[in-house]
Structure 1
Amino acid sequence: MMQRAKGFTLIELIIVIVLLSIVAIFSFRFVGLGSEMFVTGADRVKLLDQSRFTIERVTRELRNSVPNSARVLTSSDNSFQCLEFVPIKTAGTYYGAPFSSGANGQFEFVSLATEWVDITPADRLFVYATRPFYIYDDVASQRWAGVATSTLRAGDTTAITLQSGQYFQEQSPRQRMYVGAPPVSFCVDSGGQLIRYRDYGWNETQVRPPASAGTVIGERLVNLQFSGTQLPFRVDDATLLRNNVIHVFLEYRSASAEALFFNQEIQVPNAP
C-alpha cells in the first residue's frame, strides 16, 4: 500500500502567507505609531524648552527696565508688533542736579550698585520721567532726560556734567535718578519669529528697528498668523495707584498642531 507524501497544500501556504502578512502589517504599524509618538513628544519638549527660555528672557529684561519706558508699536496690517523699553544701567540718588536754565550742569550721582560700566553719551539720565514720551522725546526739547558729556567715577559717587543748556524739569520725591542704556525691542513678525533688537539708537516716535540690529531668540509663534489670536504685547501705563504693567502673550503651535501659550503679567514698579 502506497503511503501518502507529507507536505503543505497550496491553499495552506496561501493562508499562512496571508496570516504572516497581517501580522507584519500590524507589527510595522505598531512600530510606526511608536516612532510617531516619539517624534511628536521630542518636538513638543523642544518647543516647550524654547518657549520657556524665551518668556524667561523677556520677563527678566522687562523687570530691569526704566519705569514707564515700555511702549508698543503694532503695524496697520498686523504683520509685526514691537515692544520697546529702556534697560536700566544703574539707579541711585542725585545731589545738586540742575532744575533751572541758569543752574550749573554739574552734579553728583551716588549708586550702591557695583557691576555697571561707566555712563556714556549714548545713555540717558532720567529724573521723574512719568510718561513714555518723557523718556523718548528729543533731549534738546524736553527736561526729563539728560545726556552726560563727561563723568568721573570714584567708588559709589560719580561726578556728572550735562550737555550745555540741559537741566531737569521736576524733582523726584526721593531724589532718584535712573541711567538708561539705549533702547531694546522685542518684535514678533508674521513669520512666527521673536526677534530682539539693540543698538539702533533713540527714536522719538517708535519705529520698527532695522533688520541688521536683530537677533532671533524664538520661533514658531502664531500670534500674528491666525485670526482671533491675541496680540503678543500690551502695556498698561502706570498711575499713582498702579505699577507699570506689561502683558506678554506668546502662543506656539507644535508640528502636530498642538497649542502652547504663555500669558505673563510683568510689573515694573512705579518709582520714578
Structure 2
Amino acid sequence: MTNLRRQGREAGFTLVEAIIVIVITGIIAGMVALFIRVPVQSNIDTRSRAELADAADLALRRMSRELRLAVPNSVAVYSNKLAIQFLLTKTGARYVNVLDGAPATLKPLDFVGGNNTFDMVGAAPTGRQAIVPGDYIVIGNLGIAPANAYDYGKGANNISRVSAVAGSRITLQANSFSTTQSPASTFQVVTGKVTYVCTPGANGAGTLQRFFNATDLSAGLGALGNGALLSDKIAGCIFDNTVLPGQNGGSLMTMVLSLQHANGERAQLVRQTQLDNPPS
C-alpha cells in the first residue's frame, strides 16, 4: 500500500519541468516565426503592389478610353501637368449639305441664314450614342477662335446645342454655325467637358478625380462640374501631351501614376495614348 501511494505522488510533471518545456517551446516557436515572417511579409507586400498596380491600370485605361473620344484640338494639360481637360464625344454623323442635291424633304445644315433645323444623312445613332436634347453639335474644331468649341456662347462659330431630335432631324437651340464647315460634311456630338485632376499626397494620401460639366464648357479649372473619385492612394502624377511632327495635328499623351500603400509599398504605371486630332 505504501509503495502505491509513493508511485501516485511521483506521477506527472514538476514545476521546473513545466517551465523547461515552456521555455523550449517558446524558443522553437521563435525560430519558426523567424523563418516564416519573411515569406509571409513578402506575400503581403506582393499583394499590396498588385492591388496598387490594378488600381493604377484601371484608372489609366478609363482615361485613355475617354481621351480617344476627345474632340480634336480640345485636349489640354493644366496645373503643372497634374490635370487633363477635353471635350467628350459620344458619336458622330454626317449632315445634309446644300451641295448634296438632296430632295426637298431633307433640310441641309444652314451656314448662312441661321436655320435651326437640319437632317442627318442616314439613320440616327441609337442606344448610348443616341443624340438627345442638351448635347452639342461640333464641326471642324481648330482650338482657336472663332472655331473653338470651348467658347460656346462666347463667339464660337463651330458649336451649337441640341434642343430636340425627331428621327434623323435635329433642331438646335440656336444656330451658331457660320463659316466653319467640314470638307466631309461631318459633325461630332459632344456631351460635355471632362477634367481629370490629380492631387498627390505624402505616403499615398492623394486622390485622382474625374469631373464632368455638361453646361459650362469654358476652358480651364474654374468650372469643373460634378466630381467623382477615380483612385485614391495617389503619391504622384505626371500628364504630358506632346505634339507629333508630321501627324496632322496628332499628339502623344503620356500619363504616369504613382500609388503608395499604407505599408510603404509603391507602384508606378506609365501609359501612352496617341491622339489623332485633325478636325473633321
What interval of TM-score do these two structures reach, taking the shorter chain for normalisation? 0.7 to 0.9
CA distance in 1, matches of 2:39, 2:94: 62
Tell me the residue number matched to 2:177: 167
Q: Residue 176 in 1 paired to residue 186 in 2?
A: yes
Q: Call closer, same or farther: CA 1:63–1:132 in 2, change over 3 Å.
A: farther
Tell me the residue number matched to 2:92: 91
Which secondary structure state, in structure 2, belongs to the residue aligned with residue 139 of structure 1?
coil
Q: Call closer, same or farther: CA 1:152–1:236 in 2, change over 3 Å.
A: farther
Q: Where in structure 2 are the equivalents of 1:53-72 lying within 5 Å?
A: 53-72=58-77
Rg comparison, structure with higher value: 2
Which amino acid in structure 2 is aligned with residue 99 of structure 1? Answer: F
Contact 1:40 1:255 in 2 (8 A): no
Q: Call closer, same or farther: CA 1:111–1:66 in 2, change over 3 Å.
A: farther
- Measured against aligned partners, the alpha-carbon deviations of 1:208-248 in whole angstroms (never above 9, x if no partner) come to 556x821112122222xxxxxxx522223577634143221
Which secondary structure state, in structure 1, belongs to the residue aligned with residue 55 of structure 2?
helix
Q: 1:233 aligns with which of 213, 218, 239?
A: 239
CA distance in 2, matches of 1:82, 1:205: 12
Q: Call closer, same or farther: CA 1:244–1:114 in 2, change over 3 Å.
A: farther
CA distance in 2, matches of 1:270, 1:71: 12
Which secondary structure state, in structure 1, belongs to the residue aligned with residue 74 of structure 2?
coil
CA distance in 2, matches of 1:171, 1:240: 22
Q: Call closer, same or farther: CA 1:146–1:243 in 2, change over 3 Å.
A: same
Contact 1:127 1:178 in 2 (8 A): yes
The alignment of Structure 1 onto Structure 2 pairs a total of residues equal to 248
1:140 Cα shift? 4.5
Q: Where in structure 2 are the equivalents of 1:100-139 lying within 5 Å?
A: 100=112, 102-110=113-121, 113-115=125-127, 116-120=129-133, 122-131=134-143, 134-139=148-153
TM-score normalised over the length of structure 1 = 0.76
Tell me the residue number matched to 2:11: none
Q: Call closer, same or farther: CA 1:86–1:196 in 2, change over 3 Å.
A: same
Tell me the residue number matched to 2:158: 144
Contact 2:48 2:265 in 1 (8 A): no
**Structure 1 stretches of 5 or more lacking a match?**
1-11, 224-230
**Structure 2 stretches of 5 or more lacking a match?**
1-16, 97-107
TM-score normalised over the length of structure 2 = 0.74
Q: Residue 201 in 1 paired to residue 211 in 2?
A: no
Which amino acid in structure 2 is aligned with residue 163 of structure 1? Answer: Q
Which amino acid in structure 2 is aligned with residue 57 of structure 1? Answer: R
CA RMSD of aligned residues (A): 3.3
Contact 2:49 2:266 in 1 (8 A): no
